[in-house]
Amino acid sequence: MSTEQTTPTPEAELTFADIGFAEPILRAVLEQGYTKPTPIQAQAMPHVLQGRDVMGAAQTGTGKTAAFVLPILQNILPLASSSASPARHPIRALVLTPTRELADQVADNAFKYAKYTDIRTAVVFGGVDMSAQTTLLRSGIELLIATPGRLLDHITQKTANLSQVQILILDEADRMLDMGFLPDLQRIIGLIPSQRQTLLFSATFSPEIKKLAQSYLRDPVTIEVARQNAAADTVQQIIHMVPSEKKKDAVVKVLNARIQKGLSRQAIVFTNSRIGCSKLASALERSGIKAGAIHGDKSQIERMQILESFKKGTMDVLVATDVAARGLDIADMPCVINHELPFNAEDYVHRIGRTGRAGAQGDAIALVDPSEERLLADIEKLMNRKLVRMPVPDPAGGVAADPFFYMPYRAKDESIASNANDLNSDAAGKATSVTPAKPAIKSAAKPVGALLGGFKKKT
C-alpha cells in the first residue's frame, strides 16, 4: 500500500470557501457557526474532494464527521436532482458506523449540512421497526448512513441497492472490527462497485486496520491529526484513589464539589457492567442527582429518550457502559467520571474523549480502587504520562486545609491547566502550564420524534 503523509501546518489559514465548497454547502456550514476548518478537516477535505482514498486517524471530537460529509456532499452535488422519481436518487454514498448512536449522530450532521441541497439523506439502524426505513429507502436516498447489520437486512429485503455507490466511508473502523463486523463489512463491500472512493476513519491504525485498508483502499492518503492514544490537551485528568464501596459517595462528592464551584452539573459516568450502570444511576437519584442509565439492555427507544433528556439538560448525569456511549457527541460535555477503570486502556481514551471535544475544556476524573492499580498502570503506559492523584473533594469543607483541594474543579471560565506531565518529569503530579480557553461547540437540540422512528427525512 503506498501512502502519502500530509504536512501538518498549511491548513491553519484555510477557510471553507478556499477549500471550494458550493454555496448551499457553505451556507449550511456557516449556519452551524463553524468559522474555520478543524485540522482534520483542513487536511482531509481537499483530498476527498479530489476523489482520493483517505485513511484518517483522528481523535473523537476533532470534527471528523464534517471532514468527510461535507466533501462527499460536494462530490455528489452535480448529480443531485429535484425529480420525485426514486430512480433519480440511487444510493451514491454510504457511511457505515459501528453503533446506532454514531449512525444517528452522523446523520444529524449530514441533514444539517445537506439542508440547502437536493441531496436526500437517511439513516438506518437496528433496534427499531424496519417499515418506516423501508418506505424511505424506496423513495430514493443518495447519502445513506447505516449500521452493518440493519443495512444487510435491507439488502436481503431488496430495499437497499448498492450497485451505484461511488463513495464508501468506514467510520470508527477500529470499533467495527472490535465488534466483530468484519464479515458483514466484507459482504457489504462486495456489493459495491470496485470503482469507488473509499474513506476509512479510525481512532488508531492497528495492524488489523492496516490490513483492512490494504484490502479495500487504493493508494490512500494517510492523515493523522493527533498523536495516537493521546487525550485532547484540553482535558484535565485526575485520579482519586477510592475503595470500591465508597465510590458511589465519591461520585456524589465530586459532582457536588463542581456545583459548589459554579461549574456545570452535567457529567457522564462510565461503569463496566450493565447492572453496575443501572444501580449507580438509581443510587445517584436517591442522593438527589437527576441521573439516567444507558446500556445494552435498554431498548433503543429508551436509550434515545434518556439521551435526549440529558442533551436538553433535564437530566444531569448520564451513567453509561462503553458500547452504549460509543460515538455519542454531546457537545460541551464538561466532565467525564470513570466509576471504575475500563479493562482495556484504549477504552479509557475513548471514554475521556467525551470531554474536551473540538477545543472545549473538560475534566476527566477516575475513581480507582487499589485492585485497579494494574489497569491504571496500563493507561499511564499507553498515554505516556503520569496521571495526577488527588484526594476526593469534600464539598462540606476542607478547602482552606488543603490548597490543592479544588484544583481539579476549575471555576467557570477559568483557563485549564495542562496535565501533560511526562512520566519522567520532575513536575509530574502538579498541573503546570496554562492553555487559553477555546470557544465551545454548540449543540443542536433535535426533536425526539425524529429519533424514535430510527430514520429521518429532509423537511
Is the Cα torsion angle 441, 58, 455, 127 positive or negative in sign?
A: negative
Minimum separation from the CB atom of position 441 to ligand AMP (A): 5
Minimum separation from the CB atom of position 17 to ligand AMP (A): 13
Minimum separation from the CB atom of position 426 to ligand AMP (A): 35
Cell 476533532, located at residue = 62
Per CB under 6 A, the list member of 19, 24, 25, 37 interacting with ligand AMP is 37
Binding range to ligand AMP, per CB under 6 A, among 36-44, 116-124, 161-169, 302-310: 36-44
**Torsion angles phi and psi, residue 442, rounded to 5:** -80, 145
User: Residue 423: how many CB atoms within 10 A of its CB?
Assistant: 11
Q: Confirm or reject binding of residue 356 to ligand AMP (CB under 6 A).
A: no
Region 6-35 residues binding ligand AMP, contact defined as CB under 6 A? 34
CA distance linking residue 241 with residue 239, whole number of Å: 6
CA distance linking residue 223 with residue 53, whole number of Å: 11
Minimum separation from the CB atom of position 110 to ligand AMP (A): 11
275 vs 444, which CB is nearer to ligand AMP? 444
144 vs 441, which CB is nearer to ligand AMP? 441
69 vs 239, which CB is nearer to ligand AMP? 69
Q: Confirm or reject binding of residue 271 to ligand AMP (CB under 6 A).
A: no
CA distance linking residue 349 with residue 162, whole number of Å: 35
Q: Confirm or reject binding of residue 441 to ligand AMP (CB under 6 A).
A: yes
Minimum separation from the CB atom of position 109 to ligand AMP (A): 6
Amino acid at 129: D
Vertex 311, ends 307 and 312: CA angle to 5°? 115
User: Residue 391: how many CB atoms within 10 A of its CB?
Assistant: 12
Strand partners, 123: 145
Which x/- pattern over 52-91 shows residues binding ligand AMP (rule: CB under 6 A)?
---------xxxxxx-------------------------
169 vs 281, which CB is nearer to ligand AMP? 169
**Concatenated DSSP letters of 262-300:** T--S-EEEE-SSHHHHHHHHHHHHHTT--EEEE-TTS-H
Q: Confirm or reject binding of residue 133 to ligand AMP (CB under 6 A).
A: no
| β-strand pairing of 221-224 with 54-57 | parallel
Q: How many residues bind ligand AMP (CB under 6 A)?
A: 15
66 vs 168, which CB is nearer to ligand AMP? 66
Per CB under 6 A, the list member of 174, 329, 346, 372 interacting with ligand AMP is 329
CA distance linking residue 111 with residue 93, whole number of Å: 14
Per CB under 6 A, the list member of 196, 357, 385, 410 interacting with ligand AMP is 357
Region 393-422 residues binding ligand AMP, contact defined as CB under 6 A? none
62 vs 117, which CB is nearer to ligand AMP? 62
34 vs 409, which CB is nearer to ligand AMP? 34
Number of H helices, E strands in the chain: 17, 17
CA distance linking residue 231 with residue 269, whole number of Å: 17
Minimum separation from the CB atom of position 329 to ligand AMP (A): 4
Instruction: Classify each residue of 270-297 as buried b or exposed e, where b means 16 or more C-beta atoms within 10 Å of its C-beta.
Output: bbbebebbbebbebbeeeebbbbbbbee
185 vs 441, which CB is nearer to ligand AMP? 441
Minimum separation from the CB atom of position 41 to ligand AMP (A): 6
Say which residues have a Cβ less than 8 Å from residue 419's Cβ, sequence separation at least 6: 235, 236, 237, 238, 385, 387, 388, 431
CA distance linking residue 144 with residue 84, whole number of Å: 18
29 vs 269, which CB is nearer to ligand AMP? 29
Q: What is the dihedral of CA 232, 234, 240, 245, to 10 degrees?
A: -70
Minimum separation from the CB atom of position 443 to ligand AMP (A): 7
Minimum separation from the CB atom of position 359 to ligand AMP (A): 8
Per CB under 6 A, the list member of 11, 21, 28, 38 interacting with ligand AMP is 38
Minimum separation from the CB atom of position 38 to ligand AMP (A): 5
Question: Coil, helix or strand for 452?
Answer: helix
Minimum separation from the CB atom of position 61 to ligand AMP (A): 5
Binding site for ligand AMP (CB under 6 A): 34, 37-38, 41, 61-66, 329, 331, 357-358, 441
